Amino acid sequence: MILHHKDFDHLIIPQELNDHIIGFLLNDRESLKTCSLVCRSWLKAAYPYLFRTLFIDQKLFQSSAPDSFLSFPSSCFHAMNYVREAKLSISSTLLQTILMSRSCCLAWPPTLTRLHLYQCHFDRFSQLCDLIGTFPHLERLALERVEWDSEQNDTGMQVRDWSPSSLIRLQLKETRMSRFLGWLSSSSERHITTHLELLGPIREEDVPAICRYLIQTSSSLRYMAVSFEKQDLANGSNWHLPILNHALVFPGLQPPKTSEIAKLYDRHFGLPLYPTPSIMNALETLRIEGFIDCLDSISGECDYARSQAAFWATRILSKIESPHLFRGMVLQLVLGRAGDLDMCDVRWDFFDEAMSGSIFSNFEYLEFEIVGRKLQLDAVVSLLSLRLPRLAAGGRLRFSLRYDR
């Protein structure tokens, strides 16, 4: 459903449908009357599908008349009860109108459990918190390209009596993660998030906040997808090393019981195991976007820059503490040719041993989502099968090909 400036009380049949009926049955009044009754009945029965999603776009409202927004929840109350998801693309101007309308906030039905904010720009971070606070029954929340100018004088969760305790799915894409996840983690309510997508991409300053949020969702998280910022291999800068020294360290904790996957990680990489709270106790599926990314999205040429995912994938795998639940892993490869697989120094032997043995007893598949232009899939499959002989022999390798870059 797209919100326009119309009187919803008089909008019984969509105008396009009216025009089509009248044009088709212009010379047959009896059929026109019968068809109109059928269409009215159909429209009423179709309400749950027609009004499942509500779109509110800043472009639909003139800046000179933002008050026109205030009347829509009450004027279309018959449709609001069917709304399940709201997709908003707004700025601070329209946001103030929403927040000032108490009747508007109360009009959100309890059936509205999904909120998707995209291409939004706010003056302050607290405005984002206020907006989310007007949706008290959220189960799914997605932020895509959401920006704010200032983080000063924010009161965060004190502004609205809102709790993330009902949040099941969370997606952050091209949005500053550390500030938002810090706000969510400040709640003392129990977190039950089962589906988490962090497609920032993740930067160094985001890692501490992500760790804290993973701790709070350790017993519920089933699916996680992540992407990391790219790094020029020529520079050789590895920001993961200082992260190991401070962001993943929690003073006062006793050394954890060493799991089998952690022991394997230590043997392959020789990095110490820092004491950390238990995380990812229920994880079933892990997805790494841009695990290898050797293709420039504009020129289509190989630039041999990669994300930090090649390192972090093994580190995340070593922290999975659900050996009997973990079933699948998806690695996205952005390639110009099959030979790019050997340009990023990936420890394929670690993946092969970790997921082909008894560490993850119910592991089913390692899937490679291959993205590239004019790429021979057979060559990539052959090379990966050689790099991962145990998984290949066990029939646990999967491959898919996309051409959208």
- pLDDT at position 376 is 80
Contact 364, 284 (CB under 8 A): no
Average pLDDT over residues 62-75: 53
- pLDDT at position 244 is 41
Please tell me the total number of residues recorded for the chain in this structure: 405
Tokens encoding 169: 């799915």
- pLDDT at position 395 is 94
Comparison of pLDDT for 220 and 107, the residue scoring more? 220
Tokens encoding 198: 């962090």
| pLDDT-derived band at 297, boundaries 50, 70, 90 | very low
Q: Which of 63-67, 243-247, 389-393 has the highest mean pLDDT?
A: 389-393
Cα three-residue angle 167-168-172, rounded to 5 degrees = 80
DSSP string computed for 145-161: EEEEEE-TT--GGGSS-
Contact 153, 183 (CB under 8 A): no
- pLDDT at position 255 is 54
Cα gap 300→335, rounded to integer Å = 10
Question: Pick from 201, 154, 194: which is nearest to 305 by CA?
Answer: 201
Domain segments of the chain: what residues?
A: 163-405
Angstrom distances, CA of residue 327 to CA of 174, 215, 271, 359, 366: 28, 21, 26, 11, 9
Comparison of pLDDT for 134 and 114, the residue scoring more? 114
DSSP string computed for 212-275: HHHHHTTTT--EEEEEE-EEETTT---THHHHHHHTT--TTPPPPPPPHHHHHHHHHH------
Tokens 């008050």 sit at which residue? 67
Cα three-residue angle 349-405-222, rounded to 5 degrees = 55
User: What average pLDDT does the structure give for the chain?
Assistant: 77
Comparison of pLDDT for 275 and 235, the residue scoring more? 275
Find out whether the peptide bond into 201 is cis, omega within 30 degrees of 0: yes
Cα gap 159→166, rounded to integer Å = 19
pLDDT-above-90 percentage for the chain: 24
Cα gap 246→283, rounded to integer Å = 24
**Which architecture does CATH list for 163-405?**
Alpha-Beta Horseshoe (3.80)
Query: DSSP secondary-structure letter at 69?
Result: G
Residue 364 has pLDDT above 80, yes or no: yes
Contact 181, 215 (CB under 8 A): no
Q: For the ranges 19-33, 164-178, 235-249, which has the lowest average pLDDT?
A: 235-249
Beta bridge partners of residue 292, listed in sequence order: 333
- Which are the contacts of 326, defined by CB distance < 8 A and separation ≥ 6? 283, 284, 285, 286, 320, 360, 362, 363
Residue 162 has pLDDT above 50, yes or no: yes
Pairing mode, strands 195-202 and 285-293 = unpaired
| pLDDT-derived band at 247, boundaries 50, 70, 90 | very low
SS3 of 98, please?
A: helix
Residue 3 has pLDDT above 50, yes or no: no
Q: Which amino acid is at 178?
A: S
